[in-house]
Amino acid sequence: MKKLRLHLYIILGLTVLGFVLGTLFDQQVSGAIFNRDDTFGILVSSVGTLPGYLAISFIGGGFLSLALKKQYKIGYTILFYVLCVLAFAASVFFAGREFFGVNGFNLPSIKWLGYLIVVPFASGVTYLGYYLISKSERQHIWIALAFSAIFIFLALVPGVTLLKSIFHRPRYRSLTLFDEINFHNWYQPCKNYKDLMTVTGLTSEEFKSFPSGHAGGSALTMMFALLVPYFVKGQEKIQLPLLYVGFAWTLLVCFARIRVGAHFLSDVSMGMLLTTAFTIGTNEVFIKLSNKEVQTE
């Protein structure tokens, strides 16, 4: 477990390094790799948050397993059913809106199709969560994971939204279209963004560069890859490989977002940093729970 901590801090350190480099060289990095119409970048942007948001469906499947066991009071059973439905709906909503929305293929007339595409994936992951939790001998640890995930999700989404509303940083792709829009570092709030919207005809979406919600959402993949083995007894050995698979996926999404001009390096680094920090804190909780279980045995 000390080894696992070390790797988490290595990832944290790399993320902080990315943020520092972005603060110094954001414009140069984006200028070097920017390609607005890059198909690969658009595709990855469309599906980048899918694994992270599908993890919410997994949590919902676990709640369904608890509800169907009928060993809890009626109030708790109803609560588990409600949490299952909410988790499924949140997973479909947040993942589905990316496919054909402004962050994906930008086809608003068929945006609804993205939600339909996600439904079978979310259903399958919900069943996987149901199956694994029903077989788990560590349901108390899973319940802690579930509520930790809910807390992180509820903290991450409003947190990112709040920061976006404070800084209103213009996206790089907008800077390349209009001379009226100047480059802003992440620490320089764009106070005249409403005037710029009027002059250029851009929507408020183009002033939500910092921090990156895609980076934070894709980093949820890393968090769940790390934490899920805690409640599947004997599978802790796969935590490290899964952690780096999640990390690699997050880096790919971050690159894609810079590639299409949706974010700068500092934007994606901060989004990833938020989720990584939550993951480190949550991991410490599960280390203590696992140690307590071992001592009890």
pLDDT tens-digit series, residues 47-87: 888 888 888 898 888 888 888 877 778 888 898 899 899 98
How far apart, in whole angstroms, are the C-alpha atoms of residue 135 and residue 106? 42
Return the ∠ at Cα 227 (arms to 141 and 82), rounded to 5°. 60
How far apart, in whole angstroms, are the C-alpha atoms of residue 140 and residue 152? 18
Question: What is the domain count for the chain?
Answer: 1
Residue 249 amino acid letter? W
Find, among 240, 178, 244, the residue nearest to 206 by Cα.
178
Residue 278, CB half-sphere, CA atoms under 13 Å: how many? Answer: 27
Burial class of 37 by CB neighbour count within 10 A (0 to 12, 13 to 18, 19+): exposed
Q: Percentage of the chain surpassing pLDDT 70? A: 92
Residue 230's pLDDT band, with cuts at 50, 70 and 90, is low
Q: Which helix (H) or strand (E) holds 200?
A: helix 193-200
How far apart, in whole angstroms, are the C-alpha atoms of residue 63 and residue 88? 11
Residues of 46-56 as b/e, b for ≥16 C-beta within 10 angstroms?
bbbbbbbbbbb
- For residue 14, CA distances in Å to 20, 60, 278 come to 10, 32, 16
pLDDT at residue 231 tops 70: no
How far apart, in whole angstroms, are the C-alpha atoms of residue 70 and residue 269? 44
Could you give phi then psi for residue 97, rounded to 5 degrees? -70, -15
Place of tokens 């069943």: 127
Once rounded to an integer, what is the mean pLDDT over residues 153-172? 87
How far apart, in whole angstroms, are the C-alpha atoms of residue 267 and residue 167? 11
Burial class of 45 by CB neighbour count within 10 A (0 to 12, 13 to 18, 19+): buried
Once rounded to an integer, what is the mean pLDDT over residues 23-50? 92
| DSSP code, position 262 | S
pLDDT score, position 240: 83
pLDDT at residue 168 tops 50: yes
pLDDT at residue 236 tops 70: no
Q: Percentage of the chain surpassing pLDDT 90? A: 42
Round the average pLDDT of the chain to a whole number and report it. 86
pLDDT score, position 30: 96
Residue 217's pLDDT band, with cuts at 50, 70 and 90, is confident
Q: C-alpha 133: how far from its chain's center?
A: 23
Residue numbers of the domain that contains 36: 2-296
Once rounded to an integer, what is the mean pLDDT over residues 118-141? 84
Which range of 218-222, 234-238, 262-266 scores highest in mean pLDDT? It is 262-266
Number of continuous H segments (helices) and E segments (strands) in the chain: 11, 0
